[in-house]
Homo-oligomer: A and B are copies of this chain.
Amino acid sequence: SRSIDLAVIPGDGIGQEVVAQGLKVLNAVLPQDVKLETKEYDLGAQRWHRTGETLPDAELEALRNHDAILLGAIGDPSVPSGVLERGLLLKLRFAFDHFINLRPSKLFPNTATPLAGRPDIDFVVVREGTEGPYTGNGGSLRTGTPAEVATEVSVNTAYGVERVVRDAFERAAARPRKKLTLVHKNNVLVYAGHLWKNTFDKVAAEYPQVSTDYLHVDAATIFFVTQPERFDVIVTDNLFGDILTDLAAAVTGGIGLAASGNINPTGAFPSMFEPVHGSAPDIAGQGKADPTATVLSVALLLRHLGYEAEAVRIEDAVSADLAERDGAAAARTTDQIGDALAVRVAS
């Protein structure tokens, strides 16, 4: 009999609320014969305030033994910026070698986009997850004095770039449009840029069926708002991917719908699924958060674990739910949206 052993990190702010709905829908969609076990981990701002810990080694070890991780949101204004991001969220992504940060962007029917004309948006950003300016390399000299020098080092390896580029070509080859765009800034960041571009061109030769394109990151932001329909799959570095996927979320109906997977495709470590949005402390505890992004992250989780039919059922349920809601439905609570989606996937 089949089973899923899931680690759950609700985290901070609305993280708690949206994760509850994600689990509700997961329970509803899973076939009877699949045994779901969940274990909750108390990590985030409260834990840090209480104990000073972000992610102790024992918990990192324990997390490692689950099939996957569902995470709500990490971060709170009461904690100095960077402490939880680096000490918990990024620590997990790096420790579990989540080199694929997968972020699909789709303009669902009937959702609000700030773009006039409602372009047809349906692309996936494959963001590198373990290198670039996110490695924590860097430092500060003469900190706090008028002579301070602070550096941040973007680290890029052929090993790290090639594996994410290959993954992106595979994903592009499996989609109807078969188009892959590399986004970088190789006219300024020439060392990293050459490595990315040369690797991209080398791997492209193995995928003649995939059409390719290159855009500087600044130009890419223009096309995100003027011609988003031109994109199919995008591969890019950690920081550019961070920036572009927030913009992508904004143009496809908002951060309340954007799902993501931090994936280690080799299976050596558990992959982690989380909404792109943050902990939104301003609306936490009020039942106002849209759990859809978390529910869609659960779909990515199921797909990663081989439950393709169930993943599709969730995505179709979200589509139908959004298509049928009306103005009044915008006022549904977190719980009501979760209930509606659970009902849909169960039927």
Contact = CB atoms under 8 A, between A and B. Distances in A.
Interface stretch (A38-46, A52-60, A241-249, A324-332): A241-249
B148 A81 contact: no
B193 A114 contact: no
Interface string A168-194: 000000000000000001111111111
A340 interface: no
A246 B225 contact: no
Nearest to A119: B114
Given A152-B192, A188-B85, A190-B86, A243 B243 contact: yes
A141 B60 CA distance: 33
A150 interface: yes
A4 interface: no
Interface string A57-87: 0000000000000000001000001100110
A193 to B, nearest CB: 7
A228 to B, nearest CB: 9
Contact of A247 (B138, B239, B247): B247
Given A145-B158, A151-B153, A194-B140, A218 B243 contact: yes
A157 interface: yes
A306 interface: no
A81 B149 contact: no
A311 interface: no
A270 to B, nearest CB: 22
A198 interface: yes
Given A139-B191, A225-B225, A226-B250, 4 more contacts: A138-B192, A150-B192, A221-B244, A222-B255
